[in-house]
Structure 1
Amino acid sequence: MSVTEPRVAATAATAVTAVIPDDDLAVRWPDVARVPAGGVQAVVARALFRRAVAGLPLRVELGSEVMGSGGPDDPIMRIIRPDHFFARVGRYGLIGVGESYQAGDWEADALVELLTVFATRMTRLVPPALQKLRRFALLRQPQTDENTPDGARTNISRHYDLSNDLFATFLDPTLTYSAALFGDEVGNTWDDLEAAQLRKIERLLDECRVGEGSRVLEIGTGWGQLAIQAAARGATVHSITLSEEQLSLARQRVAEAGHDDKVTIELCDYRAVAGQYDAIVSVEMIEAVGEAYWPTYFATIDRCLAPGGSVGIQAITMPHDRLVVSRRTWTWIQKYVFPGGLLPSVEAFRQAVGETSLRVISDLSFGPAYAETLRLWRQRFTAASGDLDALGFDAVFRRMWTFYLAYSEAGFRSRYLDVHQFVLRRPVRLQSSGTETQ
């Protein structure tokens, strides 16, 4: 399918049309249209919410009532339909917060700033005694989202096969959908983004010592930019993806760059890869692997890395204590944006690597750069509202993705989330002769 022929994934979370009449909302977006009964859960949610925002630098407006300790310059949250909002939050927790935003139950002029306040105090919003009960109160991830070979293919398709044109509305010309590496932490413009994306890829290739004659395995093709830059260095690249949309366009972009003789891209699960490679690179793909399969992911990399080779993995991370308490919770992001996804912590990443012959030899953290990347994406996405509507993505979808981009940006601005470039190699040992060996 070409870039100009969008396809919308036919799932409960993403099946949309250009305009959704009110009477079709329940069909197109059932969980957004459906408001659960209020009752005790809503009353408890209202009380907990009031307690949580009492000392926060923000204002929450419910008609004439104002919560929070913020002043006139702090972010404002306007709860338009309080009964709906607290019913959703009481029944579904943070999933209810996101669905309430999709439904228009609440608004914020400065959405990122508001969500950053909440993200900064994430661990203190719920009383400690109640946090111990979260596993009984919150929804569990559905088994259908498990990242088995078939499940992973479905999960990837539900996000990346929405439409190449959708992603083209807000990505830079490299079509790179991961954190850019800026020179400055703040104040970057759209004109800076392409160079920052190229810089990120070049650094990873440098760290993996990719050059003339290198055999490179890329796990997670994206739209082909890393493969193009590796081939330009004289490497031969085997790139794998589970997205048919990305496969088609990545092959087209590689051919247009004149590197189709050096780059092979195929639809393939990482578990099925064979061969030996001098460098293995994987940019923001581990987030889609799932905790149960992290050992398999790293064992595959270990098996395919040639002696003396290097591995470069770019990964989004969350705090380890939050991973421990939320690893089995079903989140709004998992339900609507990245089914089956889970962010590792740095500790979990290193532990999984430690079960192989590989070791982390360097780690670059650049979370603030991701906040800048997301800000630029979000601004472009917002400005492309008309184009998105013409592509078949309705107002509910656009509110969903606006919330997703803002929610993610807030995570990095608050330092709750981080992004790393990890480089892995096998330890070098000294032989009795005094020469080094792998």
Structure 2
Amino acid sequence: MICALSDAQQQWIEDAGFKNLLKFELVELPQRLSYKVLQSFDEKNCMLVLKNGVIEITGKVVHAILGLPYQGAEIEFVQDNAVQERLKKWRSQFGISNGQSLVKASDVVDKIKQTGDVDDTFKMNFLVVMANVLIRSNTNNFVSQAVLYFNDDLDHCAKYNWANYLIKSLVITKKRWMRTSSLFFTGPMIFLLIAPLDDKRSSEEQYEHFKSEMKHYFERYPNRSIGNADLIFFPVLAYGHLYLISFNLKKPAFDIIDNIRRGRNAAKEYGPKPKLLRKHFVNYLFENKFELLAQSLKNVKPMYMIMPWQTLGNYKDCGIFLIRHMETYKGEPKNWITDLKAESTIQSAQLIKLRAKYCHAILTSPLNEKRQHVLNESKLLYNKMASDKVMSIVLAASEKKNGAVFRRNDIKGKVLFPEDQDPTEDDTPEK
């Protein structure tokens, strides 16, 4: 189909964010191998679990393999009047006016080949073929028309995260395939088949990225070195949740610190990510002549920390917990003091205060390129509120509602940044 496209059609595909598909070729889809790879996909942790390691399925990975856009807004599907008109127009080319519309993929491809024009019909046909081949199809021989419910102008495709749409489809279709006795998988089988072929390259790229981040850090802070460190912290973002991994270099330890209480299934919940990070860190230590440190951490088992202030499901404040953990953890779990109470309304009040504290520190830090603008705007706002007597009303209401809680559980201490920050500097806007 690609070779039959006109230059104008190829240009639209490129502008729509699907440029790499113009070079995409697949001669044959080996069914037995495909289903073997499908069985290795862990839909809960969204990763391929292979004999030689794992491949985390992310938007960036999908983009690298298939070329689908992986940044931008989430794709939404609607059934408004505009979409109904789009469906009606698309179906009319096949002589279908109403009722069930059963159209084969080959029929859509034939329509694309018949003209070199770049009209709405071509755009719809391309998206239907692309979505059915790469993302999700029907269980029968007829194309799914779901992509035509796309809630935007078809010329705006590049603004949306098609890679994430594929990932969601992969998870949903795998779960459905596991529940039924049907052997027909309707999800992105082509992606699953190609992904393991990039496994070695992906692992090498991960390590190269890890090294570049470490290099960037030590170039920025030349007075710091691993040889003089007691603890090395790695903030982790996985599936939208933040937690901390700590390596103790003086008393070899590998701690996973999370505000969520995981219980006995902790190892399963985190999956292979912590050990993969440890692997990269150990390789980095060996490569940079820290052989003794590397050997001491190479086989140490991860410790899933249990803390009295952990929560059952507070994912909203995971970033606040992460910063507090990095502020206060010194490598001694028994002597660890965060001032955080057990999960309760009191803890909620503490988190509100910490959020304000950290936001102020970030916004007014010399590391913030917009710092002066923030200070100027806050001063103007404060003066305006003071002149309107709004500030006294807000403060009085806040003290009446939350004052007792905050006074009883105040968390003291100034937020400190690396060498760039002067801890004695007061960035509070003048009145």
Structure 1 length normalisation: TM-score?
Answer: 0.29
Bigger proportion of residues as helix: 2
RCO higher in structure (CA 8 A, sep ≥6): 1
Larger Cα-atom Rg: 2
Structure 2 length normalisation: TM-score?
Answer: 0.29
